[in-house]
Structure 1
Amino acid sequence: MNEVRNVLIGFEFNREFSQICYYDRKAEEPVCIPTKVGTNLYRFPTAIGRKPNKNEWHFGLEAEYFGKKMGGIYLADLYDRAITEIPKDDPRGEDELPQAWQLLAFFFRESLRLTGLKDIVAGVSKIMVTTEKLDVVLVENLRMALAAVGFAPEQYTLQDYMESFYYYTYSQRPDFWMRNIALFTFADGYVTYHEMHEEKAVRPAPVTVVTASSCKLSDDPERRDEQFLEYAAKHMKEDIYSGVLITGDGFDTEWPEKTIRFLNKGKRRIFYGDNLFVKGACYAALEISEKKAMKGRIYMSPDLLKTDVGMDMLVDGKLMFIPLLQAGKNWFEESGVCEIILDGKEDLTFVLAPMDGSTRKLVRMELPGLPKRPTRTTRLRLELYCSSSEGCVVKAEDLGFGGFFPATHKTWKYGIAFPK
């Protein structure tokens, strides 16, 4: 692999197992990295371990050996820690375990050695981390962990499994995605159906994924095949599909004979494997940083910010709408910072403009305790960030007005809910 910030990485972060792939520029496709050269073992436990009374963490077989067999510490709950433990500023004592984001940093740093890069940070152009779903706690822990490894914000991105499904699908040949795409995911004895649909009459074409209720499968292979067939037929009906994807633990090609025959109807292209999401993440890294081949589409992710947030401001004597948060990106990718001068007002008015063109909404933020000053002598610093796809937080800070009116650095905080 070229080490001059040219490597694109997909990283699947799963509760039990994780895996890594890189984009092979000659083959023009993602390649999964084995945990041991010459094997087909690509997944490794989402866990780290260390020797007794030592602070050096390991992953993989070393983690299990030092943590379990030598009586050290073995942590196989990194995922659960990452989705529940809110990062804190206070340092941990010597006898306490590091915070979740610090443990994740050890995990990422050690596992990324599988790439063979001498300097991971210098060699990676973009790393896309994909996981089942994202919320504010997990996003913050992942961000802090990747930053602790040394990655700059522009080097890493996050997305959920369904967005990886999207990027994987549209990175295949056009005959695969010309019609609807079906995805079946297996986990914990259940199968779940997902359908991807593109509204081709609109530009940019919105792409949606609809997920059905899961189906519990029998342990008996013959009965399991019958249940899978009934479930697939119920949701796929007589609709036209150009491709079918199947992934997850609990599926192999031996037991679902009847279902496979059904899925093969109409010469549908079928893909099996446990690397769909990690490869989709790698394709996303390529698309976002270099290729830009999907500009004619927009994935309507549950994480998508669907509302512009801005203010009507006077610019060169003209009233203009200035967006501070822009729709069309995932909520955790968008933030805004600016400075404004108040024109005799003691509050702020924000404009919410839905991307579907529906009616704009005005939201007023009061500033109690704002220092009394002449018109246009109060400068505020505004910081906006999203707390989810359904709302954002505004922080305002009084910066005064140079030497005439010293800054008080008084702050205000306000939450805004987006229109449904």
Structure 2
Amino acid sequence: MKEIQSRTAGIENKENTIVVGYDFGKESVQISFCRKNTEPESVAPVVGVEKFQIPAALCQLDSSGQWLYGDEAVKAAARGDCKLAGNLVSNCRKQDPAEAESREESGQENSGENRKEDPVRLLGLFLKKTFSLVKTASGGAEIAAVMFTFESLDGDVIRIIRAATAELYVSETKIYIQDYKESFLSYVLNQPIEIWKQDVVLFECRDRKMMAYHLRMNQKTLPAAITISENYYDWPYGAEGENHGSMEERQIFPDDSGKSATPDTEFGKIIGLEFNKKVVSGVYLIGGCFDKTRLRKSMDYLCMGRRVFGGRNLYTKGACYAARDKFFETGRQQYLYLGEHMVSSNIAVEVKKGAERELFPLVEGGRHWYDAGASCEFILDDTREIRLRIIPLMGAEAATQVLALDNLPKRPPMTTRMRMDLSFSARREIDITVEDLGFGELFPGTGRKWRYKITLL
């Protein structure tokens, strides 16, 4: 008999194994890849052309039925050769999950027409098309893990990506997801330490706003605690610094002299508000609005005693670093980041070992809530309850959560086997199911289930 292995089993030691960072923006995607001991490399759809943004769009040619993606799809739709399918993730949000599941169970998705209209399958097709670029750029390397990164995350995005990647040749346990803030963190921690020995700030122009991520590290805690704040400032200027608003909008932001504001004076004010007497050692600028000819004074100030970098592919490379750290287990364990998608407590169950009571760990804090969970089986002694310990990572007092097993059949001690499954429906929402498995033929299980929902503080 030959052992059957998972889709990525045993590939960790292959020299030609890569991990991928996939930045899924609102209108375009960027992709990068790296090996265990190499730096991330961005993927361009056209060889030799340093244009890394790929429009997140698909279309099927009316004449031949061929599927196009990216720039080719946009151009074909502009010529009237096909109907463009954009907003790939947003369209998946609009689909009723129950309707999609019903269609899948009935086999309707196998017909050509239904297959085209299913937004999750369209997204999956787009992912397959773009992953072929990675294969080509990497010389046919095997993709071992993928980190998707989004500006923001919720349960719908998690569900959509997991459904759309089901047919990719990557194990579902190696499909990772994180937000832009965490990709920013992953990027920074993989740079020389002199860049992040103090605070690090990222500025980005988004939708007539100037967004700032401010990374701070508390070296006095062990492990060092990292926080990232997110602030937005009005920025009515275009990508290259010109004002796209009306004259009235230009007058909204007068400088101290009472004159009309300029991009330079406005960015200077934003820097002052964001830094606010804090020591900043590194700055990253994303977008086309940071033109030094228009932002001369503010850019000169930024560069005084700080390392300043500009570019557009930080999130995809940060996601690639994160995938590498997770898959090859090269992460920096001495740092603790409790972002908005992280479980903030350790969770354990009280068990009896001999005459002593101990804590058996179930969930380790600091993990993404959508990846956290546990299943275990145990035998009850003379108790009719389960006691969980909730231990916050940041020093708050631990709490005990008692799960009462009402209407549990009466049996002698040590003759009731139970199964407990724990999962998260949100960062602070835990769903628990406990099932009576009985004890063999002597005390058959009833199949009775108890369900609980716990809200973490």
TM-score (structure 2 length as normaliser): 0.82
Task: Identify which of 221, 229, 239 aligns with 2:278.
Answer: 239
Structure 1 residue 12: Cα displacement: 0.5
For residues 353 and 276 of structure 1, what CA distance do their matches in structure 2 show? 35
Instruction: Give the aligned partner of residue 103 of structure 2.
Output: 91
Structure 1 residue 55: Cα displacement: 8.0
Equivalences for residues 253-292 of structure 1 within 5 A: 253-266=292-305, 268-290=306-328, 292=330
Instruction: Give the aligned partner of residue 417 of structure 2.
Output: 379
Structure 1 residue 117: Cα displacement: 5.0
Instruction: Give the aligned partner of residue 30 of structure 2.
Output: 19
For residues 382 and 195 of structure 1, what CA distance do their matches in structure 2 show? 40
User: Structure 2 vs 1, CA of residues 380 and 63 (structure 1 numbering), >3 Å: closer, same or farther?
Assistant: farther
User: Structure 2 vs 1, CA of residues 119 and 158 (structure 1 numbering), >3 Å: closer, same or farther?
Assistant: same
For residues 311 and 411 of structure 2, what CA distance do their matches in structure 1 show? 66
User: Structure 2 vs 1, CA of residues 370 and 68 (structure 1 numbering), >3 Å: closer, same or farther?
Assistant: farther
TM-score (structure 1 length as normaliser): 0.89
Does the 8 Å CA contact 1:304/1:329 hold for their aligned counterparts? Answer: yes
Amino acid at match of 1:299: Y
* Deviating more after overlay: 10-19 vs 385-394: 385-394
Task: Identify which of 133, 136, 149 aligns with 1:130.
Answer: 149
For residues 78 and 448 of structure 2, what CA distance do their matches in structure 1 show? 52
Amino acid at match of 1:162: K
Q: 1:264-301 CA distances to partner (integer Å, 9 max, x unpaired)?
A: 122x1111111011111111122223362522212232
**Secondary structure of 2:214's partner?**
strand
Aligned residue-pair number: 416
Gaps of 5+ in 2: 1-12, 244-260
For residues 404 and 346 of structure 1, what CA distance do their matches in structure 2 show? 19
Task: Identify which of 56, 75, 78 aligns with 2:85.
Answer: 75
Instruction: Give the aligned partner of residue 59 of structure 1.
Output: 69
Does the 8 Å CA contact 2:223/2:336 hold for their aligned counterparts? Answer: yes
Structure 1 residue 246: Cα displacement: 0.9
Tell me the C-alpha RMSD between the 2 structures.
Answer: 2.9
For residues 232 and 86 of structure 2, what CA distance do their matches in structure 1 show? 29
User: Structure 2 vs 1, CA of residues 307 and 197 (structure 1 numbering), >3 Å: closer, same or farther?
Assistant: same
Q: 1:196-216 CA distances to partner (integer Å, 9 max, x unpaired)?
A: 111112221111111223323
**Secondary structure of 1:148's partner?**
coil
User: Structure 2 vs 1, CA of residues 55 and 360 (structure 1 numbering), >3 Å: closer, same or farther?
Assistant: farther
Structure 1 residue 257: Cα displacement: 2.1
Instruction: Give the aligned partner of residue 250 of structure 2.
Output: none
Structure 1 residue 261: Cα displacement: 1.6
* Deviating more after overlay: 368-377 vs 136-145: 368-377
Does the 8 Å CA contact 1:12/1:129 hold for their aligned counterparts? Answer: yes
Task: Identify which of 214, 218, 223 aligns with 1:199.
Answer: 218
Q: 1:305-346 CA distances to partner (integer Å, 9 max, x unpaired)?
A: 111122101134431111211112121221111112233444
User: Structure 2 vs 1, CA of residues 255 and 339 (structure 1 numbering), >3 Å: closer, same or farther?
Assistant: same
**Secondary structure of 2:442's partner?**
coil
Amino acid at match of 1:79: V
Q: 1:340-391 CA distances to partner (integer Å, 9 max, x unpaired)?
A: 2233444433221112343221223344554454443332221111122222
Structure 1 residue 42: Cα displacement: 0.7
Amino acid at match of 2:22: F
**Bigger CA radius of gyration:** 2
Q: 1:41-84 CA distances to partner (integer Å, 9 max, x unpaired)?
A: 11111222224499875422443466665554432111223456
Instruction: Give the aligned partner of residue 320 of structure 1.
Output: 358
**Secondary structure of 1:198's partner?**
strand
For residues 262 and 378 of structure 2, what CA distance do their matches in structure 1 show? 66
Amino acid at match of 2:152: K
User: Structure 2 vs 1, CA of residues 293 and 393 (structure 1 numbering), >3 Å: closer, same or farther?
Assistant: closer
* Deviating more after overlay: 191-200 vs 85-94: 85-94
Structure 1 residue 123: Cα displacement: 0.5
Instruction: Give the aligned partner of residue 450 of structure 2.
Output: 412
Structure 1 residue 16: Cα displacement: 0.8
